[in-house]
Chains A and B, each alone.
Chain A
Amino acid sequence: MALLQIAEPGESAAPHEHRLAVGIDLGTTNTLVATVRSGMSVVLNDVQGRSLLPSVVAYAADGSVDVGYGAEARQSIDPKNTIVSVKRFMGRGRHDIAHIETLPYDFIDAEGMVKLKTIAGIKSPVEISAEILKTVRNRAEASLGGELTGAVITVPAYFDDAQRQATKDAARLAGINVLRLLNEPTAAAIAYGLDNSAEGIYAVFDLGGGTFDISILRLSKGVFEVMATGGDSALGGDDFDHRVFCWIIEQAKLAPLSLQDARRLQMRAREAKEQLSQHGQAPITVKLGSGEYVDLVLTTEVFTEISRTLVQKTIAPTKKALRDAGLTVADVRGVVMVGGSTRLPQIQHAVAELFKQEPLNNLDPEKVVALGAAIQANLLAGNRAAGDDWLLLDVIPLSLGLETMGGLVEKVIPRNSTIPIARAQEFTTFKDGQTAMSIQVVQGERELVSDCRSLARFELRGIPPMVAGAARIRVTFQVAADGLLSVTAREQTSGREARIEVKPAYGLSDDEIATMLKDSFSHAGDDAFRRALREAQVEAQRLIEATQSALEDDAALLSTLERAQIDAAMAQLQSAMVGDDRRAIDQAMQALSAATNEFAARRMNQSVQRALAGRKVDQLSL
């Protein structure tokens, strides 16, 4: 519909009600939700005035779920059923998870992604994350006094397609309309860049609880262009805690620990690490279940020593990202620090040393991602004010490839390509009369399929039987603006086309999601039905208004017949709207969209022509 609403640069769209949109930073350790209120991006607090929601989910035997501080308090009492850092399991198989043997959970190695056996049943990381998202959705709706139009959910820039899909599924499961996934460093760059009117090359160094991202961006005239990104989707504050935890065990010469003791020591390790940032040393005193005492002092020197290799693990990807961007440290104007773990003095030193400048710490590293996401959500929801017209150009973090003969990978889309991007590849049959072939899509930088992550394996069927080598099957890979992949295939000689959705390899099908959604709706009863109906009516109204306004502007682009078809489809939708049959509304909307497809394409072409016509370079504005 918005294609039909092409506003001239600098001109604001027609005034309308303010739509409720939020940005959600779904973090490994904490989750935040923010919104734009009276032109200011603000974090929404809970009723006790706390901005952070610990990303902890506790399941109880009666099926009840506790999320946040309450759950956090339960982790040393019932570690098995209290899930912390679930983000580390998103889109991940058993063998992908570091230190899995030290985790207190009962993992089930489902295809593509682990599941966890809890007292309340088997839960996938998607379902567990959805509980966290539901909690912040409720917080936002209570605080804003209405239903959300949509949300921007942030993900680490270095997340692969499986991790992105899993995050989007979790949001859908939480009943959230995802306007877009947004890379965390890019979100931070929006908040920082708009706040400081920054121009030039900036690095965003984002070390969170469980993930590390480095993005190199060029900020110029309202365009946030990511030039390269790198990172490690399994490196964060948790790993520093783990080093301290291992040090405690070693120093105190502890025998194998109970789950409760292990969790207690892990929490203490984290507290000690945090104390060190302010004091030179941190006492660690813990009484174990056996009555035994641990009594140690962690000093800055010891911590620096045991965490040295972790700090080093952030430097190599940073150098690589700079090389990929074709830049050196001298080109970088500022380094924006994001994520709670960048508070560590060891990280601050290492970054300052590498970039030969003091990093920028003037935004709250824990909030900046959510604040940036809220700004983007506000824009996407259509609440734009004059001057709110920036553009985000992100990149794909890891190369996409295909399995070729012999288990090798052929790269189709190289890492750090600006998205959206599409590439097509031709295949042929290698046997006479072959009617099917199997294609495996992988993501990663290595040459062997077994070293990359398998995103999807799909079968192309119904190829007309021909002699070997005669069929021409063209497979197109499209990566959308938020990094999600879709694939289509077409047999060229017969023109037969198949659209293949790249289903996440962890096998959560649309049907499963629908069932889960139905389960969650069955509690809500009629509310869900009414809500869906109202949403459809609002959407329909918007579509009609947009079509009318487009017709007022550009009716000349249509023939009489085309115009009549659009008018008929519009009338159909208007009559469907008054009823309470959501399907009928959806169908009528689809029909109107189809009828205006060509019209929208012509208007788009005309708009592109206008963008270039008669311009002078120095007059170009966004």
Chain B
Amino acid sequence: MTTFDLNFAADHFTLFGLPQVQALDQESLDNAFRAVQSRVHPDKHAHASEADQRLAMQWATRINEAYQTLKSPGRRARYLLQLLGHDARIESNTAMPAEFLMSQMELREAVEEARSAADEDALDAVRGRLLDEIKADYERLAGLIDVTRDLDAAADLVRQLMFQEKLLNEVDDALEAVTA
């Protein structure tokens, strides 16, 4: 189990003064992050006592964690569902629509083939297709969470996204093996 050993009570959205929505304005997030991080970052406290430097580091760590979570739409959705008290049952619920599983299997086979053929272009093509799908899913997530408030459907989609993100990692590993 991985958790964060920090005592700052506010949730990530509140920390940045942003509304708890999935369709977060990227620029507002970036700006709020920079404004807060510019205050707390250890480089701004290079002269501080050791205790103060630790404090600055803790804050900077907290701000980085919040930013990284909110920046990625997938992680943001998982976090937001948690905040909204909706358990996405990521570990326990493994039911997936057959159609989705089929397309995943297809992609996986394409990756395997390209990997054994050391075909960089084919891997790039799969990567591009996967990125497009992920992007479309991100947009659907915003609708499901913010507009229709269909949190069950959102949780299903979050689980699918985790599959896709994992597959993307595998494509990256394959690309690394092929280009090394």
Residue ranges of A at the interface with B (Cβ–Cβ < 8 Å): 1-6, 9, 179-180, 220-221, 223, 315-316, 319-320, 323-324, 376, 379-382, 389, 391-393, 412, 417-426, 474, 476, 478, 480-481, 542-543, 589-590, 593-594, 597, 600-601, 604, 607-608, 611-613, 615, 617, 620, 622
Contacts and interface: CB of A to CB of B under 8 A. Distances in A.
B176 A2 contact: no
B48 A2 contact: yes
B27 A617 contact: yes
Given A3-B55, A593-B50, A607 B4 contact: no
A612 B40 contact: no
Nearest to A323: B172
A593 B4 contact: no
Q: Which size class do B's interface residues fall under? A: 35 or more
A425 B3 CA distance: 7
Given A420-B61, A422-B5, A620 B46 contact: no
A259 B60 CA distance: 52
A319 B64 contact: no
B49 A543 contact: yes
A607 B52 contact: no
B6 interface: yes
Contacts of A323: 172, 175
6 contacts: A3-B52, A380-B46, A389-B38, A481-B43, A608-B40, A617-B31
A611 B46 contact: no
A418 B43 contact: no
Interface of B: 1-6, 16-17, 25, 27-28, 30-32, 34-52, 55-61, 64-65, 67-68, 172, 175-176, 179-180
A-B residue pairs, 8 tightest by C-beta: A593-B49, A3-B52, A380-B46, A612-B17, A424-B5, A2-B45, A2-B47, A2-B48
Contacts of A379: 43
A32 B50 CA distance: 30
A425 B48 contact: no
A180 B47 CA distance: 11
Residue among B6, B61, B67 with most chain A CB within 10 A: B61
Contact of A223 (B34, B52, B172): B34
A617 B46 contact: no
Contacts of A392: 43
Given A323-B175, A389-B38, A391-B34, A421 B52 contact: no
Given A3-B56, A381-B46, A393-B37, 14 more contacts: A2-B46, A220-B30, A316-B176, A320-B179, A324-B172, A379-B43, A424-B3, A426-B3, A593-B52, A597-B51, A607-B40, A617-B31, A620-B32, A620-B34
A585 B36 CA distance: 34
B38 A316 contact: no
Contacts, number: 150
Nearest to B1: A426
B5 A221 contact: no
A97 B45 CA distance: 38
A24 B28 CA distance: 37
B65 A421 contact: yes
A389 B41 CA distance: 12
A597 B5 contact: no
A9 B56 CA distance: 17
B34 to A, nearest CB: 5
Nearest to B128: A328
A338 B40 CA distance: 31
Contact of A421 (B16, B44, B48, B61): B61
A594 B54 CA distance: 12
Given A316-B176, A421-B65, A593-B51, A622 B38 contact: yes
Contacts of B47: 1-2, 5, 382, 542
Contacts of A542: 47
Contacts of B48: 1-4, 600
A96 to B, nearest CB: 19
Contact of B60 (A9, A481, A593): A481
A424 B43 contact: no
Contacts of A315: 179
Contacts of B35: 611-612, 615, 620, 622
Contacts of B34: 221, 223, 391, 620, 622
Given A2-B47, A4-B52, A319-B179, A607 B39 contact: yes
A305 B6 CA distance: 55
Contact of B52 (A324, A597, A612): A597
Contacts of A620: 31-32, 34-35
A84 B48 CA distance: 38
A4 B44 CA distance: 11
Contacts of B28: 617
B4 A417 contact: no
Contacts of A426: 1, 3
Contacts of B52: 1-4, 593, 597, 600
